[in-house]
A and B are shown apart, each in its own frame.
Chain A
Amino acid sequence: MQLPVLNDAPTSKGGCAASSCGSTDNQMDTLPDSIREKVQNHPCYSEDAHHYFARMHVAVAPACNIQCHYCNRKYDCANESRPGVVSELLTPDQAVKKTMAVAANIPQMTVLGIAGPGDPLANPERTFETFRRLSEEAPDIKLCVSTNGLALPDAVEELSKHNIDHVTITINCVDPEIGAKIYPWIFWKNKRIKGIKGAKILIEQQQKGLEMLIAKGILVKVNSVMIPGVNDQHLAEVSKVVKSKGAFLHNVMPLIAEAEHGTFYGVMGQRGPTPDELQDLQDSCSGDMNMMRHCRQCRADAVGMLGEDRGDEFTLDKIGDMEIDYPAAMEKRKVIHQAIQAEMDSKRLEKAEKAQQHKQEPKLTTRPVLMAVATSGQGVINMHFGHAKEFLIYEASPDGVRFISHRKADQYCGGDTTCGDGESTLQVTIRALAGCEAVLCSKVGYEPWEQLEAAGIQPNGEHAMEPIEEAVMAVYKEMAAADKLDDAKDSVRASA
């Protein structure tokens, strides 16, 4: 079975891509209903859902069968937030307890993933024991798994038995020569195989696994790490290949490489992409593929909404003392999920109406603008500038508003009020917002206000509690009306 190809959906009449028209930048709008139904409450798969629903990972899978140059199994820093890092390894039994404790206490948690810290399918007993028990004891939780793909073909049959309808495969290349620069070795058939030979086997297994999952009707998302100078030019090809085989979503993530992580790329000084480079690549792939832009590259033991980590509230010590009545929790969860779903549906309708209105209005000819938004969820502007740990970046243009990415306000190794050369947190935040011309939040303090203005970023607290896309469009129109969007001023007047 081949999944429908996303871009076969007719694009809207305005001539722009359907996913960026009007103010309905909802990547899910281009998906067939059957898929949308499966992912509408999955925060990792639906940009819309990630404003409402939470996820968690349980770290039951320590072993790995390959080495990636962006990974180092030695370090576990509590302040770090990146894949492959965990504080506490769990047994399947502990993982089941933790999942039920989180589900009861964070009812908007809909998804349990196993993502490491090694490769889940290199730990088949621990991984499948966890899935088997959860599908029996907590049937209202969606299960998903991510893998490097080496052991995937052998696991597909078992995966399909456990009610797992989402699998993520990390595919960084389809060319073994490029693969050899990313994967120094794999463990395969009782041998460590290095270089091109190892990469070739890994790539073959990934592609075979992808095809087998699609044949079983399991949704597949593909993750790729963008490594400038290594696979950046190649990822558009990867996008094409995986789409043609039926993957429904491609998530291109920036390389995280710092010397202190002790990874090959970190130590050797390989840089990650700039936000512009990442966006350009995502845009160039989006012609071929539904792109995901809201990934937070979370830890293998993350808990909560994307962008937050409440793992500290659910350590083994703490869950040991919790009494969980899961049937009761499940009733409560159901009611809350229905309410969230109703809210999302009504907002989706509202958005569609606004988009329709937007199309009726005379089209601006102004240049696109990036804006940063502070939100704690629900799709509205509801966070104080100083409290935001991350900002969502939106692009406003005459075609509408589209979500671009998130940017962290504190660094990967945060925890300090100063960083590097004595830069204050505020300065770091302002630097993270480079390229944005406005920042929308519920409130902004006096000091940051001045510094933001000085940096050419207009603070705006006038749209508190308003839906993000509407507020961004309103600010964009104000900027256009105030002639702040220099080029094309004349043509605006001409069409007015």
Chain B
Amino acid sequence: MAVKIIESCVNCFACEPVCPSNAIYEAKPHFLVDSKKCTECEGDFPVFQCASICPIEGAILDSLGLAINPPGSLTGIPPEKMAEAMAELQSH
């Protein structure tokens, strides 16, 4: 039972101080979660603290490997709209 930070992390430090178990640490190329320490905030908070402040969709996965903040959930940008804009930019 532990969350995982993946490569889309932008190293913004926001999650590190809010973790109740001190399970998050600075590492290269991005922050990591010590899976032995992570409690998924059980007993401390009803929601994942790291994933509640993380600004990057998809950067933190739950124990099933699913994005806690799926595409569009934080920015409000519909994923198809984002894909469209990125495709448009690449065609230039």
A binds B: yes
A residues neighboring B (CB under 8 Å): 62-65, 67, 69, 72-74, 89, 118, 122-123, 184-185, 187, 190-192, 259-260, 262-264, 266-268
Say whether A63 contacts B89, CB under 8 Å.
no
Contact with A along B62-87 (1 / 0, CB 8 A): 00000000000011110001100100
* Neighbouring B residues of A65 by C-beta, 8 Å: 14, 53
Q: Which residues of the other chain, A, contact B89 by a CB distance below 8 angstroms?
A: 259-260
Which residue of chain A lies nearest to B82 when distances are taken between CB atoms in the complex? Answer: A267
**Can you show 13 pairs from A to B with CB atoms below 8 A apart?**
A62-B11, A63-B12, A64-B14, A73-B55, A118-B12, A184-B74, A187-B14, A187-B53, A190-B47, A192-B47, A259-B85, A259-B89, A264-B77
Apart from A122-B14, A184-B74, A267-B81: 10 A-B pairs, beta carbons within 8 A: A62-B13, A63-B14, A73-B55, A187-B18, A190-B47, A260-B89, A262-B82, A264-B76, A266-B85, A268-B77
A427 to chain B: closest CB distance in Å?
18
Q: Separation in Å of the B76 CB from the closest CB of chain A?
A: 5
Q: Hey, which chain A residues are within 8 Å of B75, CB to CB?
A: 67, 69, 72, 184, 263-264
Known contacts A65-B53, A184-B76: A259-B88 contact under CB 8 Å: yes
Q: If A62-B13, A268-B77 touch, does A190 touch B45 (CB 8 Å cutoff)?
A: yes
Q: Which residue of chain B is the closest to A263 with respect to CB atoms?
A: B75
B18 touching A67, Cβ below 8 Å:
no
Closest chain-B Cβ to A120's Cβ sits at a distance in Å of 12
> Which residues on the B side are within 8 Å of A64 (C-beta)?
12, 14, 55
The distance in angstroms between the C-alpha atoms of A192 and B82, with both chains bound, is 23
Closest CB-CB distance, A151 to chain B, in whole Å?
A: 12
Contacting residue for B14 out of A74, A118, A184, A262, CB 8 A? A118
- Tell me the total A-B contact number using a CB cutoff of 8 A: 67
Is the interface on chain B under 10, 10 to 19, 20 to 34, or 35 or more residues?
Answer: 20 to 34
Assuming the A-B contacts A64-B14, A190-B49, are A74 and B82 also in contact, with contact meaning beta carbons closer than 8 angstroms in the complex?
A: no
Is B10 positioned at the interface, with any CB of A under 8 Å from its CB? yes
Q: How far is the CA of A479 from the CA of B25 in the complex (A)?
A: 66
B74 touching A185, Cβ below 8 Å: yes
8 closest A-B pairs by beta carbon, nearest first, are: A63-B14, A187-B53, A192-B52, A267-B85, A63-B13, A62-B12, A259-B85, A62-B13
Give A268 to B88 CA distance when docked, in angstroms.
13
Nearest CB in chain B to that of A75: its residue = B10
Q: Give a binary string over B14-46; 1 marks a CB under 8 Å from any A CB, 0 the rest.
A: 100110000000000000000000000000010
Residues of chain A within 8 A (CB-CB) of B13 are 62-63, 118, 123
Verify if B56 is at the interface (C-beta below 8 Å from A). yes
Q: How far apart are the CA atoms of A260 and B17 in the complex, in Å?
A: 31
Taken together as a complex, chains A and B put the C-alpha atoms of A416 and B45 apart, in Å, by: 50
The main secondary structure of chain A at its interface with chain B is: loop
CB neighbours (8 Å) of B12 from chain A are 62-64, 73, 118
Cα separation A145 to B30 with both chains bound (whole Å): 27
Would you call A67 and B11 a contact (CB within 8 A)?
no
| Cβ contact within 8 Å between A267 and B77 | yes
**Residues of chain A contacted by B56 (CB below 8 angstroms):** 73-74
* A268/B52 in contact, CB under 8 A: no
Which of the listed residues B14, B49, B88 has the most CB atoms from chain A within 10 Å of its own CB? B14
Residue of B nearest to A265 (CB): B77
Complex Cα distance, B85 from A260, in Å, reads: 8
Alpha-carbon distance A192/B77, docked complex (angstroms) = 17
The answer to whether residues A190 and B85 also contact, given A63-B12, A63-B14, A264-B77 and a CB cut-off of 8 A, is: no
Chain B residue with Cβ nearest A117: B12
User: A260 to chain B: which residues have CB within 8 Å?
Assistant: 89
**A191 & B74 in contact (Cβ 8 Å cutoff):** no
Q: Give the chain A neighbours of B74 by CB distance below 8 A.
A: 67, 184-185
- For B47, the closest partner residue in chain A by CB is A191
Chain B residues within 8 Å of A267, by CB = 77, 81-82, 85
**A117, chain B: closest CB distance, angstroms:** 8
Which partner residue on chain B sits nearest A267 by CB separation?
A: B85
B20 nearest in chain A by CB position: A190
Complex CA–CA separation, A122 to B15 (angstroms)? 11
Cα separation A65 to B53 with both chains bound (whole Å): 7
List residues of chain B with CB within 8 A of the CB of A89.
11
The residue on B at minimum CB distance from A69 is: B76
B48 CB to nearest chain A CB (Å): 10
Q: Is the CB of A74 within 8 A of B53?
A: no
The residue in chain B whose Cβ has the minimal distance to the Cβ of A185 is B74
Quick one: closest B residue to A119, CB to CB? B14
Report the separation of the CA atoms of residues A65 and B52 in the bound assembly, to the nearest whole angstrom: 10
Q: Is the CB of A191 within 8 A of B76?
A: no
CA distance A72 to B17 in the complex (A): 21
The distance in angstroms between the C-alpha atoms of A76 and B17, with both chains bound, is 24
- Cβ of B18 and Cβ of A190 under 8 Å apart? yes
B71: shortest Cβ distance to chain A, in Å? Answer: 12
The minimal Cβ–Cβ distance linking B74 to chain A, given in whole angstroms, is 6
Q: What residues on A are CB-neighbors of B52 within 8 Å?
A: 187, 190-192
For B41, give the chain A residue with the smallest CB separation: A190
* A479, chain B: closest CB distance, angstroms: 41
Q: Quick one: which of B11, B81, B85 has the most chain A CB within 10 A?
A: B85
